[in-house]
Amino acid sequence: MTGTSGDNSGFGRQAGEERGRTFKSANQTLRPEAGTPPPRRSRRARSQFVVFLNFVFSSIVFLVILAGFAFYFGKREFHQPGPSRTADTVMIKPNTGVRQIASLLEREGVISDARIFSLGVRAYGADSELKAGEYAIDAGASMHEIMELLKSGKSVLYSLTIPEGQTVFQVFERIRETEELSGTLPEEMPAEGSLAADTLRFTRGMDRGAVVEKLLEDQQELVDSIWARRDEDLPVKDKNEFVTLASIVEKETGIADERPRVAAVFINRLRKGMRLQSDPTIIYGLFGGQGKPSDRPIYRSDLDKKTPYNTYLIDGLPPTPIANPGRAALEAVANPSQTDELYFVADGTGGHVFAKTLKEHNENVARWRKIERERRAEEENAGENGSN
């Protein structure tokens, strides 16, 4: 009985368990069962501060990558050839900042991006090293090359040539007409003969007054140095007479080899008490520093017009120079040729023929006048043939 009752009790439990079990339909059986749910985030992970730090870190990484790309492309743009196809000049005024310079360069079409130029200049630490001036920028010059050029200060240089034998008035006119210069000329002209005959190199905007000062200083230095090496037996008493005689030699001949010989003629005449009889002194006495009009000849009557400069009528030298003599004329007077010649006249070829006696000189003058007559006749014939 005991075994039987035990078996029945086990069966009862089994039946009870089966009665308590929930049976699934076929559709329910085919549905996938839900997986294990994820673990809940910790309270620290859900903190707003941690989220902010993650955002900041991500932003920094992004910005670093972006800055790296920007630096790479900016540097490449800074060093690669520029957009200009032709050479150009750009004027940078004093006290102009990097941004203004960059904007100017972009407007002129020599760089592609003003911002990149500004940043590049600052990256190289050159923002305070760019110098004012006028610069010649080569075609296709890179921003880096332009930066180095502006750092160097190698501006465009212009030339002003003052020829030997010009008067102070003529030099002032030349300076006034030079457009690359600025400012005004001194109201009062310096003494005749006091300006150097030279070629000046200058940057755009140089002051005209500074040019005059430079020419004055150079001439003074030149005269002093040559005067110190002069022949002690010269018949001139001071530098004014020295420069005056040099100015006459300058106006008498443009041939360098002749200047010491022409100077010797005048010095020989001064030693003998003879008048110089120089045509350029007559012209200066009549027309001053403005010079004789090119179409106006010297008339015979001009020789008789009394002026302080007419060496056909006055003894010795004129009171002042008649032009600005150059180095060669000053050297010629300081150390003239050693000759006994007292006369010279044009030879028809651009030079002069010299003579020791009046007889020889008159013969030379006759030949010169014959040459002049023949030339005038040829010009008249040519004019008649042209009109026909």
Task: Give the pLDDT means over successive 10-residue stretches in the chain (388 positions).
Answer: 48 50 57 61 62 74 66 75 90 92 93 91 90 92 93 93 96 96 96 96 94 97 97 94 98 92 97 95 95 86 93 96 97 96 89 94 90 79 63
| pTM of the entire predicted model | 0.75
Are 264 and 333 contacting, i.e. CB atoms less than 8 angstroms apart?
A: no
Query: What's the pLDDT score for residue 145?
Result: 93
- Helices and strands, counts by H and E, the chain: 13, 6
The Cα–Cα gap between 220 and 211 comes to 14
From-to residues of CATH 3.30.1490.480 in the chain: 86-150
Query: What's the pLDDT score for residue 2?
Result: 46
Query: What's the pLDDT score for residue 375?
Result: 79
Query: What's the pLDDT score for residue 262?
Result: 97
Query: What's the pLDDT score for residue 5?
Result: 46
Query: What's the pLDDT score for residue 374?
Result: 81
Query: What's the pLDDT score for residue 4?
Result: 46
For residue 189, which amino acid is it?
Answer: M
**Alpha carbon 104 to chain centroid, angstroms:** 19
The Cα–Cα gap between 147 and 165 comes to 44
**At the top level of CATH, which class does the domain 86-150 belong to?**
alpha beta
Decide the pairing of beta strands 352-355 and 343-346.
Answer: antiparallel
Decide the pairing of beta strands 343-346 and 133-137.
Answer: unpaired
Query: What's the pLDDT score for residue 383?
Result: 62
SS3 percent helix, strand, coil of the chain, rounded to 5, is 50, 10, 40
The Cα–Cα gap between 360 and 345 comes to 11
